[in-house]
């Protein structure tokens, strides 16, 4: 694989210089002692774990894969030992509540852990990361007894969790799921049904797995309004709270997949398994969104991870691989040819990957900033504003980051040429692993409908307005800075265009319901490119000021400014194509008869 080096310097730039997390923490209750120095120590410690323990298992885990047998699933060699190291380091407890054994650090630090660990070994990372979603779901919707029994084990990493939604006949359409929940006299339920595509659904890293399961009560109304949510442990806790008797949960098989071979994607059979209600009856889908939204942001991080891995592999290769001469004359006159990084088309690919890796990191960390506010701000209204912004930007981040991550992974192969298509360099595995990100947690088409249909048009534009105001306010704040004109002038124009596009789609949708769905994916990508332009402009401003102050790290800041310039001049024009697609309406999509797609 690429020789992964954790991008600690860039993470510090994003979190300390652009977004000012240390300043945020000073005004959040309970975070006053969390400093940049403490955060830096955390980054360095997790970097050591990633580079020395997890990254070396990336390729071997893919080649060996997981092994199913009737007694359970064996993970690739080294995975279990790596998990033990992870738990010993206290990483599962990093942001957990102190009352249940957690370290109580700001939740945004989880996003740093997710990126670094995920880039080192995405398949491995899914085992511990799903436990966070389970922990937050139990915290938000479990009663006190469930919290007492299960939270400490999730927070310590002794047990992990899964999210069980999908059934063979019901993918995105959860309203037609068939898994049943029969009430027992003791207040628990008997869960019967089969779930498929369950990431980390069965493995040998821990002795108990807590399944968060959607099921239907006997008297439930039809559709999504008749779904309830249950906690179903693989093993029931014994009197001491440890994993006890088996609980009617078995792994029927594991999927044979395109990528992420080191993670067990399981078919789980529930046969009168004892489960415990989370939240209110028939409101399980609402409760499950606690888990789903965490998973969506986590999947967005996957896009960053694959872009970063592509960047590190391709940039090193392009500096070393000798082929042809530079158009302006030999750059390596003593050698037989020049390194391919001198060629404009290779530069195009490398800069695209770099702009995507560093830009999506900015986007994820800007969401993490809002996560800290939503959990910890003293002011109720400020918490609500952060929650509303997260609701708007989560589908953008999930869809946009995974699309860009896959494109970056593909370009990583292209930089290597034929060598990228073979196993030994790791670029083809990066592409295979990346492809699932656009499907996970609701396909990107579903994310687009959520963004445009539910969040933007569904709120009459009210959910979008604060984000556009924030971007417009930044543009006005930079108005007197001549060196920022190349960024803020096109950005300000895009904000106005975004508003008009939204009005136009809304007007067309009122006449033809298909107009929203026809515009949705292009709209999501447009939202992503413009949002990234805003964040790149903020990064450019920081870099300009550092260069003006003659910072010792001038090379870093020049590269940051040059990447921002590339993004604005070579990537942001993609919005022109997206606008044209949106303006073309639904007719080019819906005019053809279904039979005409395949004439036999």
pLDDT at 461 over 70: yes
Q: Which two tokens stand for residue 472?
A: 């417009």
Strand duo 209-215 + 160-164: pairing:
parallel
Angle at 21 between CA 15 and CA 25, to 5 degrees: 160
Separation of alpha carbons 573 and 567, rounded Å: 9
Residues sharing a CB contact under 8 Å with residue 205, sequence separation 6 or more, in sequence order: 75, 79, 80, 83, 127, 160
- pLDDT at residue 295, as a whole number: 80
177 φ/ψ angles, rounded to the nearest 5 degrees: -65, 155
User: Average of pLDDT values for 114-124?
Assistant: 98
Of 346, 355, 343, residue with least CA distance to 408: 355
Give the DSSP H/E element, type plus range, for residue 267.
Answer: strand 265-278
Q: What is the CA radius of gyration of the chain?
A: 24
pLDDT at 349 over 70: yes
Residues sharing a CB contact under 8 Å with residue 72, sequence separation 6 or more, in sequence order: 202, 203, 204, 251
- Cross-strand bridge partners of residue 182: 190
pTM: 0.97
* Cα dihedral 238, 244, 245, 249 sign: positive
Helices (H), 36-78: 36-49, 58-64
User: Average of pLDDT values for 57-68?
Assistant: 98
Secondary structure of residue 586 in the 3-state scheme: coil
- pLDDT at residue 301, as a whole number: 96
Separation of alpha carbons 177 and 173, rounded Å: 8
pLDDT at 475 over 70: yes
Give the DSSP H/E element, type plus range, for residue 81.
Answer: helix 79-88
Of 56-65, 132-141, 288-297, 485-494, the range with the lowest mean pLDDT is 288-297
User: Cβ(386)–Cβ(370) under 8 Å?
Assistant: yes
Q: Is 441 a catalytic residue?
A: yes
CATH topology (fold) of 8-153: Butyryl-Coa Dehydrogenase, subunit A; domain 1 (1.10.540)
Of 124, 123, 194, 201, residue with least CA distance to 160: 201
For the chain, the average pLDDT equals: 96
Residues sharing a CB contact under 8 Å with residue 71, sequence separation 6 or more, in sequence order: none
What is the tens place of the pLDDT at every residue in 390-424?
A: 999 999 999 999 999 999 999 999 999 999 999 99
The active-site residue out of 255, 308, 407, 441 is 441
Of 69-73, 426-430, 514-518, the range with the lowest mean pLDDT is 69-73
What is the tens place of the pLDDT at every residue in 126-184?
A: 999 999 999 999 999 999 999 999 999 999 999 999 999 999 988 777 778 999 999 99
Give the DSSP H/E element, type plus range, for residue 367.
Answer: helix 344-376
- pLDDT at residue 1, as a whole number: 61
- pLDDT at residue 348, as a whole number: 98
Helices (H) and strands (E) in the chain, counts: 19, 11
pLDDT at 441 over 90: no
Of 275-289, 481-495, 538-552, the range with the lowest mean pLDDT is 275-289
Separation of alpha carbons 142 and 126, rounded Å: 23
User: Average of pLDDT values for 257-262?
Assistant: 98
Report the share of the chain in percent with pLDDT over 90. Answer: 93
Of 55-59, 61-65, 125-129, 291-295, the range with the lowest mean pLDDT is 291-295
Separation of alpha carbons 37 and 21, rounded Å: 12
DSSP state of 246: E
Secondary structure of residue 228 in the 3-state scheme: strand
Separation of alpha carbons 454 and 131, rounded Å: 28
The CATH number of 160-282 is which of 1.10.150.120, 3.10.20.600, 2.40.30.170, 2.40.110.20? 2.40.110.20
Please provide the DSSP assignment of 403-425 as one string: HHHHHHHHHHHHHHGGGGGSGGG
Number of neighbours of residue 476 by Cβ within 10 angstroms: 10
What is the tens place of the pLDDT at every residue in 305-333?
A: 999 999 999 999 999 999 999 999 998 99
Separation of alpha carbons 272 and 277, rounded Å: 15
User: Cβ(233)–Cβ(138) under 8 Å?
Assistant: no
- Name the pLDDT band for 505 (thresholds 50, 70, 90): very high
């Amino acid at each position: 694989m690429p020789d992964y080096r954790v991008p600690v310097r860039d993470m510090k730039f994003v979190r300390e210089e652009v977004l000012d997390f240390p300043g945020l923490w000073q005004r959040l209750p309970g975070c006053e002692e969390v400093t940049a120095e403490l955060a830096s120590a955390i980054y360095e410690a997790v970097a050591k774990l990633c580079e020395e323990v997890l990254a070396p298992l990336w390729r071997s885990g893919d080649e060996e894969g997981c092994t199913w047998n009737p007694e359970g699933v064996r993970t690739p060699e080294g995975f279990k030992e790596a998990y033990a190291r992870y738990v010993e380091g206290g990483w599962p407890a990093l942001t957990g509540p102190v009352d249940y054994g957690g370290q109580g650090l700001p939740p945004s630090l989880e996003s740093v852990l997710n990126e670094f660990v995920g880039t080192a070994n995405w398949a491995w990372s899914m085992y511990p990361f799903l436990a966070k979603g389970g922990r937050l779901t139990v915290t938000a919707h479990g009663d006190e007894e469930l919290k007492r029994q299960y939270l400490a084990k999730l927070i310590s990493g002794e047990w992990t969790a899964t999210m069980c939604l999908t059934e063979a006949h019901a993918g995105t359409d959860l309203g037609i799921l068939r898994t049943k929940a029969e009430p027992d006299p003791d207040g628990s339920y008997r869960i019967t049904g089969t779930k498929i595509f369950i990431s980390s659904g069965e493995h040998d890293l821990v002795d108990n797995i807590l399944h968060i399961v959607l099921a239907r009560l006997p008297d439930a109304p039809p559709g999504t309004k008749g779904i309830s949510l249950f906690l179903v442990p693989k093993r029931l806790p014994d009197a001491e709270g440890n994993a006890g008797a088996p609980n009617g949960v078995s792994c029927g098989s594991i999927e044979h997949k395109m990528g992420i071979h080191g993670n067990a994607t399981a078919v789980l059979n529930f046969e009168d398994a004892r489960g415990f209600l989370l939240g209110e009856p028939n409101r399980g889908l609402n409760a499950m969104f606690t888990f789903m939204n965490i998973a969506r942001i986590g999947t967005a991080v996957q896009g960053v991870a694959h872009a970063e891995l592509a960047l590190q592999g391709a940039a090193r290769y392009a500096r070393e691989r000798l082929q042809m001469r530079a158009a302006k004359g030999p750059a390596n006159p003593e050698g037989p040819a020049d390194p391919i990084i001198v060629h404009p088309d290779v530069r195009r690919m490398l800069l695209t990957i770099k702009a995507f890796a560093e830009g999506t990191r900015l986007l994820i960390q800007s969401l993490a900033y809002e996560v800290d506010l939503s959990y910890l701000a003293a002011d109720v209204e400020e918490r609500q504003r952060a929650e509303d912004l997260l609701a708007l930007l989560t589908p953008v981040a999930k869809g946009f980051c995974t699309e860009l991550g896959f494109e970056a992974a593909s370009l990583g192969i292209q930089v290597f040429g034929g060598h990228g298509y073979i196993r030994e360099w790791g670029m083809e595995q990066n592409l295979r692993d990346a492809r699932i990100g656009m499907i996970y947690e609701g396909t990107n088409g579903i994310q687009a409908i959520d963004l445009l249909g539910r969040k933007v048009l569904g709120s009459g534009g009210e959910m979008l307005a604060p984000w556009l105001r924030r971007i417009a306010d930044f543009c006005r704040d930079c108005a007197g800075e001549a060196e920022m004109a190349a960024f803020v002038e096109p950005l300000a124009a895009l904000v106005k265009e975004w508003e008009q596009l939204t009005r136009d789609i809304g007007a067309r949708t009122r006449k033809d319901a298909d107009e929203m769905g026809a515009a949705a994916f292009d709209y999501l990508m447009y939202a992503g490119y413009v949002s990234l332009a805003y964040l790149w402009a903020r990064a450019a401003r920081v870099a300009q000021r550092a260069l003006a102050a003659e910072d010792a790290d001038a090379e870093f800041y020049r590269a940051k400014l040059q990447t921002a310039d590339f993004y604005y001049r070579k990537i942001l024009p993609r919005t022109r194509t997206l606008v044209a697609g949106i303006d073309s309406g639904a007719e080019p999509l819906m005019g053809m008869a279904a039979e005409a797609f395949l004439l036999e």
